[in-house]
């Protein structure tokens, strides 16, 4: 067996990052121990942002990793894989991530809107990738899975935001009776 060749792996994605236009983290998901501490993660994010925020490229080899990225208004989206990872696979994850977020935010892809919908965005990221394994890159399927109406979700599976919203509705209607 060749010692220079790596066995193929399902663990394609090392991290998914969404940073603001100052390079601060909004959403980060690391799927391996390449950056075990928050300090190491933030240092990596700051260096990556400094390398990419003015560049026109969509892909960069950075610190031994393959990084594909896209920016929009005041957000930067990154999908990171190993140096041996196929850029097209990472680009398809980035595209699915961006398109799903765009649909969830009704094409209003900017920081304020993203922060207002963090719970759904995290669900979308979890639908796309789990533990570094790509699960789904079909935008319509991702959006459909995370767009379940809160009425249809059992109480145990609702987010805190959904539970509070439901409680507000019930209180409002009981006061109006």
pLDDT tens-place values along the chain, 177 residues long = 444 556 677 889 999 999 999 999 999 999 999 899 999 999 999 999 999 988 878 999 999 999 999 998 889 999 999 999 999 999 999 999 999 999 988 888 889 999 988 889 999 999 999 999 999 999 999 998 887 644 455 555 556 666 777 777 777 777 776
Residue 153: its pLDDT value, please?
A: 55
> How far apart are the C-alpha atoms of 170 and 46, rounded to whole Å?
45
Give the sign of the dihedral formed by CA 109, CA 149, CA 95, CA 10: positive
pTM of the model: 0.79
How far CA 68 is from CA of 65, 83, 155, in Å, comes to: 10, 12, 38
Pick the CATH number of 15-146 from 3.30.930.10, 1.20.1730.10, 3.30.559.10, 3.30.450.60: 3.30.450.60
Residue 1: its pLDDT value, please?
A: 43
Residue 3: its pLDDT value, please?
A: 47
Chain mean position to CA 129: 9
Residue 158: its pLDDT value, please?
A: 58
Residue 131: its pLDDT value, please?
A: 92
Contact partners, residue 166, CB within 8 Å, separation at least 6? 150, 158
């Amino acid at each position: 067996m060749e010692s220079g060749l790596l066995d193929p792996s399902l663990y394609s994605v090392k991290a998914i990052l969404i940073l603001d236009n100052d390079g601060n983290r909004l959403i980060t998901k690391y799927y391996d121990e390449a950056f075990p501490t928050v300090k190491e993660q933030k240092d990596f994010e700051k260096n990556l942002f400094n390398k990419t925020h003015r560049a026109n490229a969509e892909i960069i080899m950075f610190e031994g990793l393959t990084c594909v990225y896209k920016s929009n208004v005041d957000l930067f989206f990154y999908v990171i894989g190993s140096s041996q990872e196929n850029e097209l696979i990472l680009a398809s994850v980035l595209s699915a991530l961006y398109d799903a977020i765009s649909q969830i935010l009704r094409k209003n892809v900017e920081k304020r809107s993203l922060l207002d919908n963090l719970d759904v965005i995290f669900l979308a990221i979890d639908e796309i990738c789990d533990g570094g394994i790509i699960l789904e890159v079909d935008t319509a399927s991702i959006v459909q899975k995370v767009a379940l109406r809160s009425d249809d979700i059992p109480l145990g599976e609702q987010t805190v935001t959904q539970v509070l919203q439901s409680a507000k509705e019930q209180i409002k209607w009981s006061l109006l009776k």
